[in-house]
Amino acid sequence: MERSNELERDGAIEVAKYMALAARTAPKTCGIDNIEVAAINDRPTKKKLAEKMKELSKKENRPSLERDANLIEDSPAIIVIGVKSNPAGLNCGFCGYTTCAELRKTKGICAYNSIDLGIAIDSAAGIANSFHADNRVMYSIGRACLDLKIFSQTVKQALGIPLSVTGKNPFFDRK
């Protein structure tokens, strides 16, 4: 027999898998797949992530990172989605440079890469919502994951979505 806690944790991990699927299949600029997805569902990695968030909070005087670190420790699963810096080749100027070649020289980030990350995050969060798993998109998780080198070197932006299965969503009404 399984109890509620075990069922809910297993359910959250299963939802995280579907979230990864949704992020992967989300529409992307010119069909170029620059997305990387990671799931954090083990205590040691969550602890390492929370510690990095707290370190960044103190180092950069960003109290919200410590607040978020305290919230994710009880999360059964955290999906982190990153996007590689890879100009789309459209020479659109949205990044502030006239051409993609100019952007590459600065090692800047293509506006379309950021858009693709947003679409992937929205797709993943939509899956969590469909399963009624409490969640919230957090830049703080992505920021720490970049420092922890969770992704390949070419990933320059990331966002995280922690999941919660409790009576009230802990990621809202934050102090």
Which CATH number belongs to the domain containing residue 64 in this structure?
3.40.109.10
pLDDT at site 74: 87
The answer to whether residue 55 sits within a structural domain is yes
Pick the closest to residue 122 from 152, 88, 81 (CA basis): 81
The answer to whether residue 171 sits within a structural domain is no
The answer to whether residue 173 sits within a structural domain is no
Sheet strand arrangement including 35-40: 35-40, 78-84, 155-164, 134-135
Q: Is the dihedral of CA 126, 128, 134, 136 positive or negative?
A: negative
pLDDT at site 171: 86
pLDDT at site 5: 85
Number of independent structural domains in the chain: 1
Q: 171 with 135: CB under 8 angstroms?
A: yes
The answer to whether residue 112 sits within a structural domain is yes
**Model-level pTM?**
0.94
The answer to whether residue 172 sits within a structural domain is no
The answer to whether residue 174 sits within a structural domain is no
Q: 110 with 87: CB under 8 angstroms?
A: yes
pLDDT digits (tens, 9 = 90+) for 123-157: 999 999 999 999 999 999 999 999 999 999 999 99
Q: 100 with 136: CB under 8 angstroms?
A: no
Residue 79 tokens read as 């999906």
Q: Which helix (H) or strand (E) holds 161?
A: strand 155-164
User: Does residue 175 have a pLDDT over 90?
Assistant: no
The answer to whether residue 175 sits within a structural domain is no
The answer to whether residue 169 sits within a structural domain is no
- For residue 150, what are the domain limits? 4-164
pLDDT digits (tens, 9 = 90+) for 15-46: 999 999 999 999 999 999 999 999 999 999 99
